[in-house]
Structure formats: structure tokens, C-alpha cells
Amino acid sequence: MDDKVRTRIIAVLFIAVFVGLSVRLVLLHMKPSESTLARIADGRHLKVETRGERGRILDRNGNILAVDVSARHVCVDPKLIMNHGDIQEVCDALTTHFSMDRDKVWKLLDQPTRQYVRIKKYMREKDTRELEALGLKGVMFDEVPIRNYPKGVLGAHLIGFANHDGVGSAGIEQEMNSTLQGHAGLRISQKDGRRREIYSLRTVNIEPKSGSDIYLTIDQQVQYFAEKALDELVAKHQPQGAWAIVQHVRTGEILAMASWPTYNLNQFAFAHKEWIRNRAIGYTYEPGSVMKAMVIASALDSGVVSAQDVFDCENGRWYYKGIALNDSHPEGLLSVADILKKSSNIGSAKIALNMGDAKVYQCLKDFGFGTATGLELPVEEGGILAKPKRWSKISSTRLAMGHEINVTSMQVVSAFSAIANGGVRVRPHVVKKIVDGNGKTVRETVVEELGRPIRPETAKQMCRLLARVTQPGGTGTKAALRGYVVAGKTGTAQKANVKGGGYYKKKFIASFAGFLPVENPEISIMVVADDPQNGYYGGSVCGPAFKTIADQTVRYLRISPQGNQANEEKPKTEAKE
């Protein structure tokens, strides 16, 4: 084949390719296929959903406990990076800046068909500035909100956390998720060849709306007092768990709710599920002798006994229905007042027998046991209070000393608050008010009366009797506070063996519940320790922590030894329907 023929063949081939391309271009522009049109439209389509800012959580004084802050996803466009030949430079920068494995980064970049890959999620803006300053092609920074908890550990179990998708997953964050969650925004538009939005072609633009702010009843300072007191208790007695509650007597507001073990809300992903558990409302147990306060209060209120009536406490060992009941310290004849002061199991059991099963059961129901309190927190337990028809012949004698019943500490502190509040039981609450994005208060919690388990005169009498517990000769002297008259009751209960039946001989729940000042009670406090070491009596284990919290709280809130009730306007109440 000579050169002329060869040249003609090549020319024909070039002409054929040119004509083919021309025909294809004409067809694409004049009459493109449906699939082609769809791909073009899809490539130009821009749809962006934006998450509304989550509402803040604040304490009663406006201190921020939870808030959304700006964060960034560090992303790359592998296709763009490969086309510009910068993959080596980008890989070096990402590996160095984030201390990542080089092979892992290379695999993420070596995807020439992809245009969006996340390298690092939820990074603080300050941690990406240096990388951004390099101006690397194909490296992008997507702005996203992330939940921040400025106080870290403080109030962890009450506040809870929202996950990285903005969904509340514990505490108030979970219970009030729909209130806190903002409304999503939407932007629909088109983009050019460089993936930039063509603003003139925007068809939908719905701005996101922020969620409402929630003001809690807790005071961050009182919360701090409670948590530090628990830290000291744990360091000394090494329990499996410990918790404390501080409540305003007349309003039912929770000023503090602490639980140990705890965790940092900003690192919730690393927390064990037992650390997240709010033991103050989610742990049920047999409370022991703190229950004597409610049983004796009802016995006095119904006229079954008087404070001066005397019972034989059998020198510490008594057989009833063939089963022995013991006291930790042998006592002989004791008045009802001293049965409470000395915490006699035998004396309390005999009082309960005088009341009868029906009265004992009604007493415990009236004080709120067997039913959740209705606190605005998730996973609140209601405890267990069986009906009398399921009781044995000795059940009332055991219920009188806090056995054969399961309670939460929230129920117990609420019952003590009822005694302190003139016999009026109010619903405990942790939400003070809700404020929308425009600054308008859309809900403010009012005091809700739940019932009156005892008469005002009985409540006043019980305040005086419970004050004797912290005085010389009582079981709660370590909870006494200089300058103040403190009312309270110790609790020391053997732990039930759920798997094997019966009770552990050397495992206890220790507690102390009480309120102050006695004449005009302002705050009630409860401290509990689960299986403490180096002692197990409620008075010696939990009494000092109660005292510490009480001492710091009355000074901080400027509660006088006579109480502030006389100088305050009586709160409005709303009766339960």
C-alpha cells in the first residue's frame, strides 16, 4: 500500500469520527434522550436540608447547661483531587493534621468516581483553621451544629445528652426532645458545573427554626454541693453507687439531683450504660427504717397511737408468728417518740399491727409509694407495693421497717417533703419554664397538690419527733447542723438477693432523709449509698454527706435557722383533678 492510499484511509477515518461526533452533538442538543435529560437535571439539582438549632438548657438562674455550637465535617472531593494530581499533598496534610493512619487516608482519597467523602466529623472550628489555611483543592468544610455541655460532668444524669444526629438520648434532652428540637429548613436550587449554587434558580428557601429553651429548677451551685458531697462519700466508703436529691419543700422543685458513678456529657459515647443510669429515679430498693417516719405519722394521724404510748421492744428480739425480728440495739420499754428516735424495728412492727393491714397499705399509698412521681425525666420507676391480699401474716411488721416494698429515692424525699410541708404532698418537678425562640414564655410550671396524707397538726408533731433523731441519743446525730434544728431519719436495709432469694448478710443500702429548719422547713435532702464499705449504717455513712449538703445549701440560699417561709409569698397551687 503506497503513501497516497494510506493517507486517504486515515483522512476518511478522521472525517468519519468528526461526522459521528457532530451527529452526536446535534442529537444531544436537538433531541436528547429522556435518560440523558434526567442525568443532566439530577447533576444540576441542589437540595439542602438544614437542621434547626436545638434549644438551650439552663438552670433556674439562667446559667447555660447545654447549647448548640458550630462544628465542621472535614470532607474531600476525591475526583477533583485526582484530576489535579494533588492526592499526595492532600494525603500528607490530612495524615499530619489529624494524626491518622496514612493507608486509611489514602484509601479514602483513592476513589476517582466519588465527589464527597467525610474524613473527620464534628470537629471544632479552631481545630480546622490550620488545615483550611493551606487552601488545598478538593478539601471542604461543612458547617454543622454540635451539642456542647459547658459544665461537663455537672448534672449529667438530669440533663442527659443529645446524640450527633440531634436526638435526645437521656435525661431532659430525651424527655423534652420535641420541645428542644428545632424545625428543619429546606433549600432547593440548581448548581453550576463547579457545584456552586445558582442563586437566581432557587425555588424553595425555608429557614430552619430554633427549638425552645428549657429552664430547669436545679441550681448549678446546689448541684455542685451535692456532687462533691457524693465524691467524699464514695472516697471514704467505696459503695457500688451513691445518689442525692435536694428538693424545695413547698414547691416540689428539685434543686439538685446527683448520681454516682457519673460521666462527662461531652464524651457520652465512651460512657458505660451503668454510668448513665439516674439512680435517684431509676433504681428501686427496700429502703429500711426511713419508712418508719411515714408509718408512725399515719398511726399518729389516725389516732391509733399517741407519741407517749409505750411498747415493749423485747430487749432486741421478738418472735411473731414463729419468726424472729431483731433490733440492732436491744431496747426495753420505749415510747412511740423514742421508737422513732432509736429506730426500733420491733416497736415499729407493733405499731403497724395496731394499725392493721388496710391502714398500713393506705398510708403508704397516700404518701405516694407504688406509683411514679411524674417527674419530667425518662425511665422513672414506680416501685413495688403489693396489695394486702398478697401479704403474708407478717408483711405489715416488715413494711413498717422498710422491707417487702420497693421504692425510689425520689418517692422517699417527696414523702418527707409532705411531712415538712404541713402534710401536703406536691408533685416534684425539674422544669421551671419553657421559653420559645422569640423569648416568649410558653409554659411555666405551677405547684400541683397531689394529696394530704396527714393533717397539719400531725405534720408539725412529726417535725418535732424527727428532730429528736439528730439530737443526742438518736441514730442521726452525724446529720445535725450547728445553729439549725434538723429533722430526719436513718435507713439501713439488707439488700435483697434477687437471684438467690432472701437477703445478703453483708450487703446494705444506707440512707438518710430529712429536712430543715424544723420550724419552717425549706429544703428536704436525701442521700443514699448502695453497698458501702467501711461502715454500713445510714447515720454514719450518709449522715455526714447530708450535713455537708445542708450546711452549704442553707448558707448559699441564705436560709435562716428560723426558715424564710414567713417572709415569702405563699406559692400558688393547682389541685390534682
Q: Length of the chain in residues, anyone?
A: 577
Catalytically annotated residue among 289, 414, 417, 524: 289
Q: Are 395 and 385 in contact (CB under 8 A)?
A: no
CA dihedral (118, 121, 122, 124) in degrees, to 10, reads -80
| Rounded distance between C-alpha atoms, residue 229 and residue 543, angstroms | 11
Q: Are 151 and 220 in contact (CB under 8 A)?
A: yes
Beta strands (DSSP E) in 192-312 are: 197-198, 204-206, 213-216, 241-248, 254-260, 310-312
Neighbours of 294 (CB within 10 A): 27
Q: Which amino acid is at 304?
A: V
Determine whether 189 is an active site residue.
Answer: no
Neighbours of 204 (CB within 10 A): 11
Closest among 490, 504, 337, 318 to 394, alpha carbons compared: 318
Q: Are 573 and 252 in contact (CB under 8 A)?
A: no
The three-state DSSP-derived secondary structure of 371-422 is CCCCCCCCCCCCCECCCHHHCCCCHHHHHCCCCCCEECHHHHHHHHHHHHCC
In which element (H, E) is residue 117 found?
A: strand 117-124
Give burial (CB, 10 Å; 0-12/13-18/19+) of 76.
buried
| Beta strand pairing call for 213-216 and 57-58 | parallel
Give the three-class secondary structure for 302.
Answer: coil
Give the contacts of 480 (CB within 8 A, at least 6 positions apart).
470, 471, 486, 547
Residues designated as active site: 289
